[in-house]
Structure 1
Amino acid sequence: MTRRRQFLFASLLLTAGLAAGCTTPSASGEGSIDGLRILVPAKPGGGWHQTAQALQDVLQREKLASGVQVFNLEGPGGVAGLNKLVGEKDDDLLMQMGKVMVAGIINNKSEKTLKDTTPIARLTGESLALVVPAESPYRNLEQFLTAWRGDPKGIVITGGYVADVDHILAGLIADRVGIDPAQLTYLPNAGGGESVTRLLSGEAKAGISGITEYAEHIKAGKLRAIAVSGSQRSKLLPEVKTLTEQGMGLTYLNWRGVVARPGLSDEAKTRLVNAVTKLHASPAWKQTLKAKDWDDAFLTGPEFDSYIETEDAAARKVLREIGLVN
C-alpha cells in the first residue's frame, strides 16, 4: 500500500463508525442529579465549552439535574483536565471530551489515558469549516489550494491545539492535494476565538475549526468559508460546498462526548448514563442539535468503550503520517 493510500485509509478510520448504530439503553431509576458538575478541559468559548453549556441548559430544563455547574481547566489536548478527573472522588462529575482529546493524549505523551476514565456517552458530531479572512485574495477553495501548493511552508494555517482535529484535517487536505504534510505550517491556539484573531491580524492565511466556532464571524462578514468537511452541507452555512463536492473526496467529522472518573460504581454510572439518555430523547436536545447544526452521534455502553479504542488506533496512525509522533 502506498504512503498516500495508507494516510487516506487512516482518515477513513477516524470518521468510520460515527453514524453507526447509536445505542439507547433503557432508563431505570428516577430523580434528578443534584449538584452535577461538568469539567471543560479547555478555555471558555470553544466547542467543548459550547457542548457543556448545552448539556447544562437541557439537563436543567428537563429536570434531569439541578444546580449544574460548568467549569474550565485549560491545557493542551485536554490533558490537564483528564489528570484532574482521574484524581477526583465526586461521582456526579462529567468531563467534556472527544476526538480532540484522543489525539491530544497521544501527542502530549500523557501517562493518563481515556482507559483511566469511565466512558458515559458520545453525544454529537460536527463538520469543520475551512475559512480565510474576508479580505483574502482567495475567493474559493481552488484559489487557496493553488497558492498553498506554490508555497506550502509560507501559507500559515491556524486552528486548535497541535495534533487536534483541526491540525489533522489540515494534514489530510495537504496530503490529498499533493502537499507533504510535513511541510505544513500550522499555528495552534487554545480555542476557535484565538484563531479568529490570528486570521484577522493576517498572521494566518487560513483557519480550520468547528462550524459553530466560526459561523458568527462568517455571518458578520469577517471571515469567508471556502469548504466544510462533512458529507453534507451545513445548515448554518448552506451555500458553502463540502470538500467532496469540490472534488477532494474527503469527509471528516469531529465528535464530542462525556466521561466520568475511574472506579465509578455501577449504580453511579447508571445514574449518569440514564441522565444523558433521557436528555438525548428530549425535544429540547433535538432542538439544540438542530440549532447548532450538530449531528446526533449518541452512543453509550460497551459500544462507546470500543469506539474510543478504535479512535485511538486511527489517531495514532494519522499522527504518524503527519509526522507528529513516531
Structure 2
Amino acid sequence: MTEQIIIDTDPGVDDAVAIWLALAAPELEVLGITTVAGNVSLSDVCRNAGSIIAKSGRQDVAIYAGSHGPLTGTQRFGKYAHIGSFASLLKDEGSVAVSAEHAVQFIVRKAQEAARQQRPITLCALGPLTNIALALNFSPEVAKGIKRIVMMGGAFSAMGHRTPWAEFNFYADPNAAARVFRSGIPLVIMPLDMTFQALLTEAHLEVLAHDAGEPGRAIQHLFTTFDRNDPGRFLRDGGPVHDATVIAWLLEPELFQGCEVTVGIATTGETAGYCWADFYHKLKQQANATVMRHIDEQGFHSLLQRVLAVYGSKGEK
C-alpha cells in the first residue's frame, strides 16, 4: 500500500528537488501540495510550485495556497527572496493553477477523512510550519488523522544558516514550530547538522541532467544559478539539498541514523527561532521527536539518481 502524503512547502530550490522526488516515487501518493510564504512571497511560492508540477507531468496533483506570513510577528523571507519566482529559469512548459480551497482547510479536511478511515497521512513539512500549526488549532480531531510529520528544520551543532543561531524554517515562524512540537504527533526532524553531510557536486548535477529528463536539467540549472557551495563551511565542494532528505527518509529510512529526544524552540527575544534538543537527557522529559544525526551520502545520491531517472525514461518513450 502506498503512503499518502501532503507536501507543505515554500519552493525554493531544494523544495523543487523534494517535490520531483516524491512525484516520481511509486511508494508515495501525493494528495496535494500546500504552500506557505517562506523562501519567497506566497504568490511567488505558488507560481514556483505550479511550474515544478507542470515540469513533472503530474498535473493531477493540486496546489493549495496557504499562509501569507507567520502566526505573529514580522514576515521573514529566504536569502533569494529578492529574485522572486524562478519559473522563468525552468523554461516554463505551463503551470498548474492554484485550487480555490485554502491550504489549511485542505489539511484539516484530509486529516479528518484519514481519521475516519483509520488511515492516517504523513505531512512533509519543507517550509515554515504556519499552515500545519493553524490546522492543528482547528480541532483535536486533526491530529488523529496525522500519522507523523517529517520536517526539514532546526540546527544544533551546525548552528544557523539564516542567522547565527537559527535555521530558516523555524526562524520564519518559531511560534508555529512550538505549536507543532507540543502536538503529540510523532515528529521526524531533518536538521542542518545532517543535511550538510550530503552535498550535490557538479558531477552529481551532470548525472541528473543526463538521466532525469527535464526535471534533472532544471535541477542542474537551479543549483548552478543559486550557488550553494560554501567550502569555508563544508570544507569541500558541493551544496546541500536540505528538503529532499525528507522524502528520501520516507523512501529509504535505513540511509539515516537518528535518536529520540526532547526538542524545543525559543519564540521570543534576540534568539527567537533557536531550536534546542536534549541529546543527553538532562531534562528527564519524554521525547517528542526523532532527530536525524547522520546520512549515508552515497546512498542518498544513489536514491536521487534512481528515482528521478523515471523522468528520463518517460521522455524516451
- What band does the TM-score fall into relative to the shorter chain? under 0.3
TM-score (normalizing by structure 2): 0.27
The structure having more radius of gyration, on CA atoms, is 1
Determine which structure has greater relative contact order: mean sequence separation of CA pairs < 8 Å that are 6+ residues apart, divided by chain length.
Answer: 1
Q: What's the TM-score once normalised by structure 1's chain length?
A: 0.26
